[in-house]
Every structure is written in structure tokens, then in C-alpha cells.
Amino acid sequence: MNKTKQVMSKFKAVDFFCSGGGMTYGLRQAGINVIAGIDNDPDVKETYEINNPGTKFIQADVFNLKETDLFEYIGIEKNDDNLILIGCNPCQYWSIIQTDKKKSQESKDLLKEFHRFVKFYNPGFVVVENVPGLERKAKESGLKEFIDILENRGYKVYWDVHKLNEYGVPQTRKRFSLIASRVTDNKIIPEKSEHKPVVKDLIGEQNGFPKVQAGFKDNTKFQHSVAGLSKENLEVLSKTPKNGGNSVKQRKHFKGKGFRDSYSRMSWDKPAPTITTKFFSISNGRFAHPEENRAISLREGATLQTFPKDYVFYANSMQANARMIGNAVPPEFAKRIGEAIIKELNNE
């Protein structure tokens, strides 16, 4: 596995809603000591702990977690200039992707729960990462109130909707990100990449991904497993033009319903679409391989999310592993957030 930087910075972080550890891993790569991750999903525990050794996993529902519990669990204290609190709460309710809003109703208030811990501990830094809908619905989501609270407490707040392809992530993914600090007069802004990666930069035979067929099960830690396809869908995909082609079935039968790019292929020379929690299914977006007659594999999805190839996912099903991968903050973007914080405080 890619080693975390040997010399850790003076910063320590707590990653709320950590899931499988994308944000944690990226910050660790930047040199930040992530002392704990918090999530209420027991299925992510093994993945989080094994890939982020030395970081404590706290299984807890934030609605029931008391502010003082964190002092008991990990010993963090109030007004610590070197403490970073991170809130990357599940975002389905504020997403533009068609989801069951009733099912995700509870998640809409998670940012407000995160407020409690920020107000109680008054950390040196606060990081929030979420879907752009959080900013579009700033009042309803609690974001406006959150920013007002931070600014009234003397934090310098930077926020924007970022195109992650500009930050080394090979996707068209857009994300809302906020970095706030009360120990600097400057806004902390992640640095863009000189290169905008595309699909062929990360997957394909040239990058160590052997050709496989739909339904292939990889029992190794490489996890190059692929969902199966019905005879009908396999025939549809076999007729879909290679390298970015759109499905005839999609054009004729969906007529505005479902996902616009369902049954269509990724392009080698373009960024991938946003890797969602359903990226293993060609009926849920442009998730067909550019050339092979299959959806992309679990490992290909994780790689397009910028997880290293030896980051292993330990949930008990393809669906659960894909959910961890799709929900993750891409580690490359998280690393750039961490590096920006360190750079600002080191006056580099």
C-alpha cells in the first residue's frame, strides 16, 4: 500500500461520516494524523481500520453522540488550534441524482448535527465536503447558518463548488467543499492539478487491468469483479459503439426517464462520469467499459475514485463495496485539502 508520509504534521483530525475512509486516507497521505473516523455503518469498519492503521474507528450514530463522548473516546480538547473536524455527511437528500427522498430524509439534517461538535470544540480548522446541492439549498440544508456561525466565531471561510477533474480526479464529478480556519487570516484553497486525467490514464490493460467478461468474480484482493448481465443487456451492449458510444436501447426507450446515459460506454479520452454507488450497473449511468462488453469492475471504480490499487474493500457484497466506493471523497482531492492546510500554516 502507498505509505503515509513518514513525517506527520502537527495537525490531528477527526473524520465524521468517514465511511470506507477516502477522506481519511487522503489526509493521511498529506501528512495529517487522522486520529479517528466516525460512522454508524458497521459494514465499513473493517475496510476503514485495515486501510488506515492506527486510526480509531468509532461506530456511532451522530444523532445520539454527545459532544463530550469524543473526549472520552479519543481525548480531544476544546480550542485546539491544530485540530481539524471534518464533516462529509451522506448527501443523497441534496443530490440532483434521482433517489428516494423519503429514504434519505434523516440524512438531510446531519450537517446540523456536525454543527454541535464544531461549536463545542471550536477547532482550529473545519472541513466540509458534499454535493453541490448543499450550496444550492444553503438555507434549507443548514449551510448558510453554519457559515454564519463560523464567520461570527472569527473563522476565515473558503467554499466553492469544485470540478474534481481539475484536482487530479478522472471524473466529471462536482463537489461542494468548505475549508474554514480561525488561526489564519488567509482563505485556504486546494491547489489544482497541472494535468486533467482521463479514463485511459487509470484503467485499461496498459494500467494493469486484464480483460474480463461480465459476471467475472475476482476472489483476490485486487477485486476486479464485474456484475453479470442478462442475455438481452449483453446483446444491447455488444451493439453499443466502442469508446463513448450511446446505447440504441437508451435512446429509443427511456425518453427522458431514468438515467440519461444508461447502457452507454465511457470514453478513453474523457473523464469518467461521477462514480456513484451504482457504478457497477450499466442501467444506472455511463458505466459500461469503453471497449469490453461489461460494466466497469469494483477495482476500476475504486481506481477512478483515486483509491490505490491495494486499498481493499471488505464488505460482504458487491453492492456494499460499491456503496463505500461511490460515497467516498476521492482520496486525491482529500490529499489536496490536507496539503493546502499544511502549506498555509507553514507559510510555504
Count Cβ neighbours within 10 Å for each residue of 55-65 and write b for 16 or more, e otherwise. bebbebebeeb
- What proportion of the chain, given as a percentage, has pLDDT over 90? 78
CA distance 21 to 11: 18
- What proportion of the chain, given as a percentage, has pLDDT over 70? 86
35, 11 Cβ separation under 8 angstroms: no
45, 313 Cβ separation under 8 angstroms: no
| Amino acid letter, residue 192 | K
Residue 52 in this model has a pLDDT that exceeds 80: yes
Asked whether residue 42 is domain-assigned, the answer is: yes
Q: How many structural domains does the chain have?
A: 1
Asked whether residue 75 is domain-assigned, the answer is: yes
HEC string of 11-67 equals: CEEEEECCCCCHHHHHHHHHCCEEEEEEECCHHHHHHHHHHCCCCEEEECCCCCCCH
Active site residue 91: yes
Asked whether residue 93 is domain-assigned, the answer is: yes
Asked whether residue 220 is domain-assigned, the answer is: no
Domain with 47 in it = 12-193+331-346
Asked whether residue 47 is domain-assigned, the answer is: yes
Any idea which of 81-85, 136-140, 227-231 has the lowest mean pLDDT?
136-140
Sequence-ordered alpha helix ranges (H) in the chain: 22-30, 45-51, 67-74, 110-121, 133-136, 138-141, 143-152, 231-238, 248-253, 298-304, 318-327, 331-346
Calculate mean pLDDT across residues 323-334.
96
Asked whether residue 246 is domain-assigned, the answer is: no
3-state helix, strand and coil shares in percent for the chain, rounded to the nearest 5: 35, 15, 50
DSSP-assigned states of every residue in 265-284: B--TTS-B----TTTT-GGG
56-59 and 156-163 beta bridge pairing: unpaired
Each residue's pLDDT tens digit, 237-291 = 999 999 999 986 655 554 445 557 889 999 999 999 999 999 999 999 999 999 9
* Residue with cell string 446531519: 110
Asked whether residue 19 is domain-assigned, the answer is: yes
Residue 91 in this model has a pLDDT that exceeds 80: no
Asked whether residue 48 is domain-assigned, the answer is: yes
- CATH number, domain with residue 163: 3.40.50.150
Catalytic residue, from 91, 266, 320, 325: name it. 91
